[in-house]
Amino acid sequence: MSPCIYHLVDTSCFAGIESSLVNHCELLQAEKINVKCIFFKYYPSNPLYSKLDKLNIEYQFIENFMNLLTFIKKLDTSDVLHTHGYKAGILGRTLSKLLNKTCVSTYHAGEQGSGKLKLYNDIDKYTAFMSTNFVVSNKLKPQLNGSSSLFNNFVLPKAFHDKKSQAITRVSFIGRLSSEKGPDIFIQLASHFQKNSKLAFNLFGDGPERHKLEKNLPNNCHIRGFTSDMDKVWHNSDILVISSREEGLPMVAIEAMMSGVLVVSTKVGQLDKLITSHKTGYLAEQISALALADCISEWLRLDNCIQQDMIRNAYKLVLKEYSGQNQAKQLKQAYCLA
């Protein structure tokens, strides 16, 4: 029987980890490797399931600890459990270690969190010695109690299309509306440009900060909520702003560059490996609305030909380094399939 890779994840929505999971599955499928997904619980509104259905990726729901124990116990010696997120990581690698099964873990999160979340993240990192580990940012390496390899997030390649010039430049924030992602900084950025009628600002996402953010929205900024139709979002975006206070290597940045959207970002996580200011996008000198505004103002002053050159440079970079070819080799090696 051919080995199978089982991706274990606890998920209730569709965000960066879930997008990464879909890309993993599609890449392994293209490499003729058996792949399935294991979820802890069924969430009716999660669009992840329909995306997996379109790829004909099988998935199932574990529901409780004993079912997970039984599932891992029955894995073949050549099968691999690949965990994403702290809950899947802690339980998956601990049980795999006890049952002598192969476990690979990807550490996605750059933020520490607080309270119970911080405790779970600490346990997740402490138990890293039980698995083969990937990190999406080098800053995570010293935090793990075990060895790890850098794994760049990726998106599968698609054709480049020049965007038609628009009368209004559409600036987007895409992500969870929580403090570490800096949606408040994005709203301050919109306020900075409130007198510029040729700029429109939109936040795509949801989260605990939404109610507070809605109280301080300037007239040129709207919260659109969560959407799973990213093709439509990219079609209606000219600039992606990543205003995060903490990050790894966000999938959304790679997706934007593959979609011909300029990325303007704070200099956090692994983003300085992806973006070279004035060549493939902009990195703000500080984590502030004013620093991001300086980047956008400079972009708007550029000749259209120079703008298009920068967007094409970004596309060529992600096509070469972040489109799955190198990542497939890393995964095969970790799964002992190389």
User: Do 4-152+323-334 and 169-321 show the same overall fold?
Assistant: yes
3-state secondary structure of 283: strand
Mean pLDDT for 220-234 is 91
CATH of the domain spanning 169-321, picked from 3.40.50.300, 1.10.3210.10, 3.40.720.10, 3.40.50.2000: 3.40.50.2000
Rounded to 10 degrees, the C-alpha dihedral 17/18/19/24 comes to 90
Q: Note the pLDDT tens digit of each residue in 87-134.
A: 999 999 999 999 999 999 999 875 666 788 889 889 999 999 999 999
Average pLDDT over all residues of the chain: 93
Nearest by Cα to 224 from 200, 243, 205? 205
Q: What is the pTM of this model?
A: 0.81
Q: pLDDT value at position 266?
A: 97
pLDDT of 338 over the 70 cut: no
Mean pLDDT for 5-19 is 88
Percent of the chain predicted with pLDDT > 70: 98
pLDDT of 321 over the 80 cut: yes
Q: pLDDT value at position 6?
A: 98
Percent of the chain predicted with pLDDT > 90: 76
Q: pLDDT value at position 111?
A: 63
Mean pLDDT for 132-139 is 91
Name 252's Cβ contacts closer than 8 Å, sequence gap at least 6: 16, 19, 174, 175, 240, 242
Q: pLDDT value at position 201?
A: 98
Q: pLDDT value at position 113?
A: 67
- Domain topology for 4-152+323-334: Rossmann fold (3.40.50)
Specify whether the CB–CB gap between 324 and 31 falls below 8 A.
no
The full set of domain ranges for the chain reads: 4-152+323-334, 169-321
Q: Which two tokens stand for residue 170?
A: 């559409």
Residue type, 6: Y
